[in-house]
Amino acid sequence: MTDTTNGEVLLELDGITKQFPGVLANDRVDFDVKSGEVHTLLGENGAGKSTLMKILYGLYNADEGEIRLRGNPVTISSPSDAIEQGIGMIHQHFMLVPTLTVAENVALGLPSSKRMLMDLTPVRQRIRELSDTYGLAVDPDSYIWQLAVGERQRVEILKAIYRDVSLLILDEPTSVLTPAEVDDLFETLRQMTRGGRGLVFISHKLHEVMALSDRITVLRLGRVTGRTTPAETSREDLAHMMVGRQVKLAPTRTDSTVGEARLTVRGLNVIGDRGTPAVTDLDIEVRSGEVVGIAGVSGNGQRELAEALSGLRPVASGEVIINGTDTTNRSPKEIRRLSVSYIPEERMRDGTVAEFSVAENLILTDHDLPPISRRGFLDFNQIKQVGSALVKRFTVKTPTLETPTSSLSGGNIQKLIIARELSGDPELLIAAQPTRGVDIGAAEYIHSVLMGQRAQGTAILLISEDLDEVMGLADRIAVMFEGRIMGVLDRAEATISRLGLLMAGVEEPNDSE
């Protein structure tokens, strides 16, 4: 590692501008990183954080502006240039080759000590040393596909440390980690800064930003809207800078009367895409007027559970009873006819037909029923009326009803889906990741709509990997790990640490005995 005294300016981005067709992604952005600090880049999806860092890493070229490293202007036009300059990046999606080993992934792209021939012995040796120094336990000979998500994250960090980076960019590195893994990651990152490295932390999770940052720069719509430090600010202020107005971070809860069971699941087993069990012996009940949250790191069977309940995936064994009717292995249409609505987690793949217009997507679930269609013919006046009423009621921002859905923002597409799914006032709502990737404003709105439905007596099964969301909305929280429910906590007794343990698969001691 190059000798640097803490506090020396490592990186300066000066007036970076990047124009994409129709979007000014970065508008004269200034940003700098000193050695030994964590400088956070905070902003919503689409604020331009990732674009800025991709410019720094050579994945995009800036239209205007200058990059200086230790005071010297540099041109970075490819990742190799960035690596050569001592810049490392940990991407939002893992950049690992699953069929190769840890050591091979680390060695990839580096010159070998035996020239053309691979020589992994020194690589393994160095990985072990770095693992010890930084507390990043991982076996160099494991294949990536054998590793859990938290371990894969450690490999990403090892790759960067192995390359002796002086500046490391972390793009939303915590999105797939349990709370305990986040704590470990932050400890490693602090250790890296003590060695004189500079870190750029990209995030939209406010409590993580407050916990880790030395300095914070906030971006909104491509522009810097605030520069501050955790000591001078609060989560509410940060949210204000991100969104541009006051935001309520915690949804307002109203009273609601809990009634009879709307969804009862007993001994449910579901097989995943790879033919292995995804949901195992799962029991759950959701009553009218309550929100039951399913927390857990994604990939622990939540998607398969939602698909099995909504009829999209076969149930291997067990039973699903909705409103007293056995719906096990019934078709999605039959299930929907029982006043069940479903907000799928993949809004572009499962929630909408991207090429269809807003109006067409709004009638997708009842286009074959009166009043939308009669004797097989669509009633376009009806469609227009229903469409414009829904767009208005759920504040979907769209130029016209004929606009292709794919050209709306993520938050507005999600509002469109919610408008469609809640228009029939369902008795049971299955909501999977309803606010993932949407901006804070839309999330705030979606939360208030869900709370409104709860007050009206809808039973809501909320599947979310966002702990703040589950803790804010749910009356009871079930934690899923490897296809099983590890425990169900009442709202009052659910703390991040208790949920975090369950999310990591640690059973709670049974204190009732």
Residue 116 CB, nearest approach to another protein (Å): 5
| Minimum gap (Å) between residue 79 Cβ and another protein | 5
Q: Please, which residue, 62 or 216, has the CB nearer to another protein?
A: 62
CB of 57 to another protein, least distance (A): 8
Q: Which long-range contacts (CB under 8 A, 24 or more apart) does 82-85 make?
A: 82/56, 82/57, 82/58, 83/109, 83/163
- Give the nearer residue to another protein in terms of CB position, either 89 or 413: 89
Rounded least distance, CB 318 to another protein, Å: 28
| Cβ count near 466 (within 10 Å) | 17
| CB nearer another protein, residue 92 or residue 257 | 92
3-class secondary-structure state, position 319: strand
Q: Which of 369, 358, 326, 364 has its CA nearest to residue 344?
A: 364
The single-letter code of the amino acid at 301 is G
Nearer to another protein, 108 or 211 (CB): 108
Q: Where are the beta strands (DSSP E) in 323-404?
A: 325-326, 340-343, 373-374, 377-378
Query: Minimum distance from CB of 355 to another protein (Å)?
Result: 19
Q: In the bound complex, what is the minimum distance in angstroms from residue 69's beta carbon to another protein? A: 17
The one-letter amino acid at 304: E
Cβ proximity to another protein, 82 vs 450, nearer residue: 82
Nearest residue (CB) to another protein, 62 versus 386: 62
The nearest distance, CB 52 to another protein, in angstroms, is: 13
- DSSP-assigned beta bridge partners for residue 295: 479
Q: Closest CB to another protein among 80 and 325?
A: 80
The sign of the torsion formed by the CA atoms of 186, 189, 195, 200 equals negative
b/e per residue, 4-42, with b = 16+ CB within 10 A? beeeeebbbbeebbbeeeeeebbbebebbbbbbbbbbbb
Using CB under 8 A, list all residues that contact another protein: 54, 57, 59-60, 78-80, 83-84, 89, 91, 93-100, 104-105, 107-112, 116-118, 159
Task: Name 106's Cβ contacts closer than 8 Å, sequence gap at least 6.
Answer: 123, 127, 140, 155, 158, 159, 162
Task: Residue 383: count other Cβ atoms within 10 Å of its Cβ.
Answer: 20
DSSP one-letter string for 112-171: BTBBTB---HHHHHHHHHHHHHHT----TTSBGGGS-HHHHHHHHHHHHHHTT-SEEEEE
Closer to another protein by Cβ: residue 112 or 254: 112
Nearer Cβ to another protein, position 111 or 399? 111
Q: Give CA–CA dist 358/401, Å, rounded.
A: 5
We find the least distance from the C-beta atom of residue 323 to another protein, in angstroms, to be 40
Give least dist CB 109 to another protein, A: 3
Q: Name the residue nearer to another protein (CB basis): 84 or 132.
A: 84
And the tokens for 230? 């955790």
Burial of 73 (0-12, 13-18, 19+ CB in 10 A): exposed
CA proximity to 64, closest of 23, 96, 19, 99: 19
Place of tokens 């790759």: 159
Distance in Å, CB of 117 to another protein, minimum: 6
Nearest approach in angstroms of CB 104 to another protein is 6
CB nearer to another protein: pick between 60 and 481: 60
The distance of closest approach from Cβ of residue 91 to another protein in the complex, given in angstroms and rounded to an integer, is 7
Cα(385)–Cα(372) distance, integer angstroms: 10
CA distance 382 to 169: 51
Judged by beta carbon, residue 112 or residue 317, the one nearer another protein is: 112
DSSP three-state, residue 27: strand
Taking the least distance from each CB to another protein, the nearer of 160 and 502 is 160
Q: How far is the CB of 97 from another protein (least distance, A)?
A: 5
Rounded Cα–Cα distance for residues 20 and 22 (Å): 6
What three-state secondary structure class fits 48?
Answer: coil
